[in-house]
Amino acid sequence: MIRPRAGDFNYSETEFEQMLASIAEVKGTGAAGVVFGVLSQDSTTLDSERMQRLIDASQPLTVVCHKAFDETIKALDALDELVRLGVKEVLTSGHQKTALEGAKELAVYRNRVNNDSSLVIMAGGGVRAANIKELINTSGVTRVHARATDPAVFKELVDELRKLSPKPDLLMPFIKP
């Protein structure tokens, strides 16, 4: 993840330059992609100019917009902007606290971009083994993000995912084959 600090998604010029430098470093590692998001100064929309600069610097890596997207006030406009910018995935909880709470919105987002672009909706936020089936069935997403730092919790989540789909991209979208 390309993020110079915790907190909001409005960055000073110095922080933005750090983001550009971080992208250059990541590209040198052989990583498959980068994750970032930059909002306008009022935190209501994406900062399209800065996002485009980061995207251009990231090529040819896959670009994912993180949950900064969930801070925007007009989700569908922001989705359209991500498509225009060429972002490949967006990590979102459907503008809710958890992805399960936002599952119906995730379905709206998925339907919005499904036929018109290559933007993939990745559900994230409170994704656990106990709710993954309902989340996928309600939202129709094919990618999920879970913070599972405990190996047993991670194994349980992966086991549930394997029951739902044999697709390797559902499990590990950033691992190069």
What pLDDT, on the 0 to 100 scale, is given for residue 168? 39
> At the top level of CATH, which class does the domain 1-83 belong to?
alpha beta
Do the beta carbons of residue 11 and residue 4 sit within 8 Å? Answer: yes
pLDDT band at 163 (very low <50, low <70, confident <90, very high): confident
Q: pLDDT tens digits, residue range 141-153? A: 988 888 777 788 7
Q: Report DSSP letters for 16-66, one per residue.
A: HHHHHHHHHHHHTTT-SEEEE--B-TTSSSB-HHHHHHHHHHHTTSEEEE-
Count Cα neighbours of 78 within 13 Å in the Cβ-side half-sphere.
29
Model confidence at 175, pLDDT cuts 50, 70, 90, reads very low
Can you tell me the distance from the alpha carbon of 37 to that of 66, in angstroms, rounded to the nearest whole number?
6
Q: What is the structure's pLDDT at 116?
A: 63
Q: Which amino acid is at 129?
A: A
Going from N- to C-terminal start, the domains of the chain cover 1-83, 93-177
